[in-house]
Chain A
Amino acid sequence: MGGGWLSRWPVIRQLRGEDGRGRAARSARTDALRPRVEEAETVARSVCPYCAVGCGQLVYVKDGKVTQIEGDPASPISRGRLCPKGSASKQLVTHPGRQTTVLYRRPYGTEWEPLDLETAMDMIADRVVRTRRETWQQTHEGQEVRRTLGIASLGGATLDNEENYLMKKLYTALGAIQVENQARI
């Protein structure tokens, strides 16, 4: 681009009759701007977590942080497009309101308390084993049922197939039959 700074000023170029969009709107500053995604160290091919259309997402990561999530132009479903929620999904994974530590509320407690992850896992396993044994039904009205009605589970539509599979498999082996998800509502 020739000429002095004045002639390169977009306003001057636009006044001279160049199309107000595209090249004529560019300044030295915009020429120097680079997209965030260019500096990403890795790009993961993902899928939007909101509705069930299944739009393709590209997840850009730099220095161990998600720097941007964009639509995947290769997807035959979405062709690179995302809706307001999908476009905001970088905030979904990075927003400060996200809870990242285990919390515990003891019976009759008035506040949350911190709890170690491994301890929490052990405590939950203890409760499953205890409740299952205390509420075990071998028979019901004369028929063998081999189950517990003491444990219920809700949720699955936001999870992966592999996760639903392990849930149903484990619950069924435990005899917990009240396993439900969003498809029921």
Chain B
Amino acid sequence: MAECHPVGYQWVMEARERGAKVFHVDPRFSRTSATVDRYLPIRAGTDIVLLGALINYVLANGLDFREYVLAYTNAATLVNRDFRDTEDLDGLFSGYDEETGRYDPSSWAYEGDVPEEEEPVEGGARHAEAAGSDSYGARGAGASATPPQDPTLTDPRCVYQIVKRHYARYTPEMVEELCGIPPEGFHELAEAITANSGRERTTAWVYSVGWTQHSVGVQYIRAAAILQLLLGNMGRPGGGIMALRGHASIQGSTDIPTLFNLLPGYIAMPHAHRHGGLDDYLEREGADTGWWGNRRAYVVSLLKAWWGDAATEANDYCFGYLPRLTGDHGHYASVMGQIDGTVKGYFVVGENPAVGSANGKAQRLGLANLDWLVVRDLVLVETATFWKDAPEIETGELQTEEIGTEVFFMPAASHVEKEGTFTNTQRLLQWREKALDPPGDCRSDLWFYHHLGKRIRQRLGDDDIDRPVMELTWDYPEIGAQRDPDAAAVLREINGSAADGRLLASLRELKPDGSTSCGCWIYCGVYADGVNMAARRTPHTEQGPAALEWGWAWPANRRILYNRASADPQGRPWSERKKYVYWDGTKWTGPDVPDFEEDKAPDYVPPEGAKAEHALAGTDPFIMQSDGRGWLYVPSGLSDGPLPTHYEPHESPVRNALYGQQANPARRTIDRPENPYNPALSPRFPYVYTTSRLTEHHTTGAMSRPLPYLAELQPEAFCEMSREMAGELGLDNGDWATIVTARTAIELRVLVTGRVRPLRLNGKVVHQIVMPYHWGYSSGGLITGDIVNDLPSIVLDPNVYIQESKAGTCDVLPGRRPRGPALLDLTERYRHG
């Protein structure tokens, strides 16, 4: 955090000065490690062992916050009799199909929940493929908000007992054997987090892509969620799980998603084999209880925002205009489509996959097989110039004169040359004022897509396939000599309005009958009463610590999600010290906006048959969930199991000591010649690698390597290794080394330090190397270097299709890599050696 989010880290330092104890668990020693109470180095790819052992420590010692757990989690809920745990099946859950490598999750359901009807044979597997985890908190149509429970927590089929059995084998000894963390380090951590949780205290966890870029990444976060729920640390000040995200508005681009499987506000894209018309889609895609029960209002309002008067009740509000998914259409699937020639045109906008995505060679081979490519960026990034300076030109795999890709480089406006909002890592929207016009041909992406859309519409006719484009609302006012579309008008469309044009103040005003429009339901209220709330700038010195008048956080300007849980079931603060949102006898109040209906009393009991939020009791804080509870156990929505389970990375030098199952059985592999894998446990690839960032650089370097200050501060790509490893290889600090995987080999300077430590696992020493990935061959860079992301393979988490780039295996050779075709000979030898 100190390294990659330095200014956010000032708050951790302030907390530490006030007595907070700070731990850092990371394979690499960074600026964070240097400033904490205890640094615990860990083998990359083993965090679920550590988190599972902490869960086990809490449960075995009765240290859970029992009143919170009973009232606010699904600990007491009973699970289907057919469920079998990894304890029963040596690392598999019930429902696994060896042939397809997929789970049928129906046996994971709560008792009494009706498993979804059997889908047609052809569509069954495909459903699981289309990112089935988007119906957050849902358990299928008709599920009750109050499933059967055992409040004594003794029934062997209740969630509490299942979780307890599942983690019983996650012991400090396993932590030592698999993670390389000695027992005294584990106990110090376990004692600290349990001593600092409960009524009077809270503990927070912070993570970044070190937890997500794994073939079991979603379950890393789930493991932290279980721990935090057991300790009562969710929805309370100083608690939570903070995802530190890596780009200025990566949160915004997830909320208003340029992502294949989502529509704005986490609404699932419709699936051809799963959904018919709007009614069918709404029935299948979410719960009737909890706030998702209002999804018809969210979806219809979105369709009205996009197709305006053309969207009517009679035509399903143009729901049929939405294209349908049939499987994984994610980034890596698109790249394979490029190599196969099905993807012909590609827009790359402020991203640089030739350097930033896993298996860079596959990325560039895809680029070289396009008909046309549009790159929009501040500088000539590697993705734009691959046709003349990619590593494959040097090896002879590609020749400039034989690459048929037509490339348009469109220079972009910088952040000061346009106005609009970023959404930061805490869901906060902040409006940026425009300082000046962009130079030359540089234009904002708003300008580009607005004018591109206008031109496309001029070229289309009244053909049926053109109607969704021709009827699209696309009449944004243009400003100034460059005819910039008015970003505030776009934000107003996102906010939503009533039929009379009045801007909506709250998502509660959204209607399912087509009388409201709203481009992103969770952003409704950002332009309440015609005021750009994201542009508010009351200084922190003039308001309280929640700073509600600086920008605007979704939803409804709530700063801590699920903050109803900061009070006890009766609505009283858990303690005076941790007082936040509470019931004052007539309403919920406190320094934040309550994440609850303001007037729903703690003793509210839903009437029979109640829907949406009305189906949740006054004691149900997790209002997006169909049962209002925090889920220790996830009965539906995940592709690889209801409970986090340790699996080794796809490429690992270590056998899974916990189960016979070595790697995540549901992980997605791409078995193609462009994407060869290092075999697990292979002596050819004895070292573990992980990748990282540095304070002085940003992602692929396009926003940092061309800047003299930053280039001078961190001039050269390197790999960091321990003195012991360097000694074994005969390497000195500053030498060159060649890093080899089955994909390729790259050369880096060697940084030899005592910061990276050899890990002793079950008597065997495992060395790790750490490589920052900011370098490439161009990007207007004052400094260049080999591309670290050429090393990882493409193997994906089955829920979200994120690649496992934080834990892989490699070999390290002293000296520089071979040049030209000799490089191919080297990797060929490793593939077959």
Contact = CB atoms under 8 A, between A and B. Distances in A.
Interface of A: 42, 44-56, 59, 61, 64-66, 69, 73-79, 81-88, 91-93, 95, 97-110, 112, 115, 117, 120-129, 131, 133-136, 138, 140-141, 143-170, 172-185
B491 interface: yes
Contacts of A59: 416, 433, 435
21 contacts: A49-B415, A56-B430, A76-B550, A91-B708, A92-B378, A99-B378, A117-B441, A125-B458, A126-B459, A133-B465, A151-B347, A152-B337, A155-B350, A156-B351, A159-B349, A161-B422, A162-B487, A176-B323, A178-B330, A180-B334, A184-B801
B203 to A, nearest CB: 21
Given A83-B695, A179-B259, A153 B346 contact: yes
Interface in B316-338: 320-326, 329-331, 333-334, 337-338
Contacts of A153: 258, 346-349
Interface string B772-784: 0000000011100
Contacts, number: 478
A165 to B, nearest CB: 5
A53 B424 contact: yes
B252 A161 contact: yes
B696 A181 contact: no
Interface stretch (B402-410, B507-515, B610-618): B402-410
B485 to A, nearest CB: 8
A85 B491 contact: no
Nearest to A122: B455
A152 B345 CA distance: 6
B421 A160 contact: yes
Interface stretch (B5-13, B109-117, B164-172): B5-13
A156 B780 contact: no
A173 B469 contact: yes
B348 A154 contact: yes
Contact of B695 (A84, A128, A138): A84
B703 interface: yes
A107 B406 contact: yes
Nearest to A107: B404
Contacts of B5: 51-53
A98 B345 CA distance: 25
Contacts of B331: 154, 180, 184-185
Interface in B590-624: none
A122 B408 CA distance: 12
Contact of B323 (A109, A147, A150): A147
Contact of A149 (B342, B384, B422, B494): B342
B311 interface: no
B424 A77 contact: yes
B357 interface: yes
Interface stretch (B90-98, B135-143, B227-235, B442-450): B442-450
B323 A172 contact: yes
Contact of A161 (B255, B415, B713): B255
Nearest to B404: A107
B578 to A, nearest CB: 21
A83 B704 CA distance: 13
Contacts of A150: 342-345
Q: Which of A49, A108, A151, A180 is the most central at the interface, judged by chain B CB atoms within 10 Å of its CB?
A: A180
A53 B425 contact: yes
B184 interface: no
Interface residues of B, number: 164
B387 interface: yes
Given A53-B5, A108-B404, A161-B491, A181 B379 contact: no
Contacts of B345: 127-128, 131, 150-152
Given A127-B371, A151-B343, A168 B407 contact: no
* 6 tightest A-B CB contacts, nearest first: A54-B424, A160-B420, A100-B440, A97-B780, A76-B540, A156-B258
A66 B465 CA distance: 46
A56 B449 CA distance: 27
Interface in B554-612: none
Nearest to B699: A182
Contacts of A134: 344
A150 B322 CA distance: 17
Contacts of A110: 388, 400-401
B780 A98 contact: yes
Contact of A46 (B250, B254, B432, B800): B432
Interface of A is mostly: mixed
Contacts of A180: 258-260, 330-331, 334
Contacts of A172: 263, 306, 322-323, 468
Interface string B229-253: 0000000000000001111111111
A85 B695 contact: yes
A134 to B, nearest CB: 8
Contacts of B430: 47, 54, 56
Contact of A185 (B254, B356, B540, B695): B356
B452 A95 contact: no
B547 interface: yes
B499 to A, nearest CB: 21
Contacts of B324: 140, 143-147
B774 to A, nearest CB: 11
A100 B491 contact: no
Contacts of A74: 537-541
A173 B257 contact: no
A156 B490 CA distance: 16
Given A51-B5, A55-B7, A74-B539, A97 B347 contact: no
A132 B325 CA distance: 16
Contact of A163 (B372, B445, B710): B445
Contact of B347 (A61, A109, A143, A152): A152
Q: Which of A82, A120, A131, A150 is the most central at the interface, judged by chain B CB atoms within 10 Å of its CB?
A: A150
A158 B412 CA distance: 11
Contacts of B539: 73-74, 76
A83 B6 contact: yes
Contacts of A54: 248, 422, 424-426, 428, 430
Given A53-B8, A146-B468, A177-B260, 5 more contacts: A91-B710, A107-B406, A153-B347, A161-B252, A164-B253
Contacts of B780: 95, 97-99
A20 to B, nearest CB: 28
Nearest to A84: B696
Nearest to A82: B7
Contacts of A49: 248, 414-415, 422, 703
Given A46-B435, A143-B272, A184-B259, A125 B416 contact: no
A96 to B, nearest CB: 9
A158 B459 contact: no
A109 B408 CA distance: 12
A44 B436 CA distance: 9
A8 to B, nearest CB: 34
Contacts of A157: 246-250, 253, 350-351
B70 interface: no
A115 to B, nearest CB: 7
A144 B316 CA distance: 16
Given A53-B8, A84-B709, A170-B472, A100 B439 contact: yes
Given A47-B248, A143-B324, A184-B331, A85 B710 contact: yes
A6 to B, nearest CB: 38
A165 B453 CA distance: 13
A126 B260 CA distance: 24
B4 interface: yes
Given A51-B4, A54-B248, A107 B379 contact: no
A66 B706 CA distance: 17
Nearest to B10: A81
B475 to A, nearest CB: 12
A148 B334 CA distance: 12
Contacts of A184: 259, 330-331, 800-802
B248 A125 contact: no
B441 A100 contact: yes
